[in-house]
Each structure stands twice: as C-alpha cells, then as structure tokens.
Amino acid sequence: MAEAKKKIALISGANKGIGLETARQLGKLGVTVILGARDLGRGEAAVAELKKDGVDAVAVKFDVVDAADIQAAVDKIEAEYGVLDILVNNAGMSTESLGGNSTTTVSEDDLRKTFETNFFAVINVTNAFLPLLEKSEAGRIVNVSSILASLTLHALPGSPIYDAKMFAYDSSKTALNAYTVHLAHALKDTKIKVNSAHPGWVKTDLGTDAAPMDVVDGAKTEVTLATLPEDGPTGGYFHLGETLPGRYFVLFSGWYRGMIF
C-alpha cells in the first residue's frame, strides 16, 4: 500500500507561543510544518526544538506585512512541495494594555499598525497562498481571532469582556471574523474550509502570565480547525469545539467573568 502523502502546513508567527505549540501538535499528527518567523534565526531555533520531539519542521523568514517575504515563502513552498494543505494565520499584535477602554485614547498610528498585521496582512497572505491551497485535497485556513472580536459580548453588560475594550485590537479581530465569513462563502464550492479560532486567554507575551490557560490547551482549537474532516464547518468562530459567542458564553461565563481575553 502506498504511503499517504504528508500534509503541509504554514503557520505565521510560529517561533513562539501558540504558533509554536500549534506547529508541535500538528507535527505530532504527521503534518510537515513550516514555521513563519520575522526573525529567521529564532525560527530555526524553534525548528531545532520541534525536531527533538520528532516533528518534521522547517523555518522561513516571514514578516506578514512584508510583500517580499510573502512572495518568497510562496515560491519556496511551491518549488519544494507544490501544494499547501493548511494555512494558520496566527501572527498578531497589540499596542494596548489589557483592560480598560482605549477607544478615545488609542492613536491613529497604533490603529493602523494593528489593522495592518491583524487584518490586512491576513488577507494578503491568504490571497497569495490560495492557488496552492486550491491544489490541496482538503485545504484548511485558520484565522486566529479572539473572544474580544465578539460585538455581541462587548454590547452585553455583565459579559466576561464587557469592561475589556482594547479598541484597535478588538476591532481588528472583529474585521478578521468578517473576512472569515466572507472568504468561506467565496470558497463554498471548493474543498477549502475557513474558520476563526479563539484560543482562549493563554500565557503568552500578549496574554501575560496572568492568563489561566497554557499554550498546550490554547493551540487545540487551531489544530482542530486545521484538521477538520470533509463534513466539518466553514465560516465559523470557535473555541474548544464550541461556537462563539452563544453556547460558549452560557457554559463558561461563570468561570471567565472578570477575566480578559
């Protein structure tokens, strides 16, 4: 029997945190993972770490706001693999402090920088890789969002995020969710599925050490959406198997109340 062809995944912002753990978990499932990192040296150090766990991994210099980096990554993956099965748009940034309301204080420059990375770069990266994803037998796109993208929960007094309004970050992730819905519709007649993931409040540089979740659990939603079966959902917004905000809020509001995501 012929050996099944290994799937190829590209993960942006993958040299640390949730991106690195997503790479580790996908790699342990037999996926070849390509770690996108702004600093190639850090990416290669992360690859060395993954290889100790038996993961088939390589690093590429990949600043998501750099058009030259995006094209170079496309060219490399096309030349070496000819296909991309999984794209995890994990890279993200925020200039705002957790908590409070920055709507009237955030600068235009910070707004633009945040949207450039969290929204526009995702569109540019995805469009660049769509021809390779279309060659996959089961292309999967995972856009890493946040519960802070939920307008429903932001507008609901008493919700776990009601008093946590980082305007630039939150609105960039809301826009990202809109992109997920629209892209999923545009690709509905293909084998590609597109979904948004809320990892949870995770101990990372962005989430801080105050977060209740470790990266191992934070990566699970991304990995699940990256490996959906043919009958899996598309155009959704998920955390650990639950659809946001809906039932997730009902089930977990007691635990999360007062916390920031």
- Active centre residues (catalytic): 169, 173
CA dihedral 45, 49, 51, 55 (to 10 degrees): -110
Burial class, 247, CB count within 10 angstroms (exposed 0-12 / middle 13-18 / buried 19+): exposed
Pick from 83, 62, 74, 89: nearest CA to 183:
89
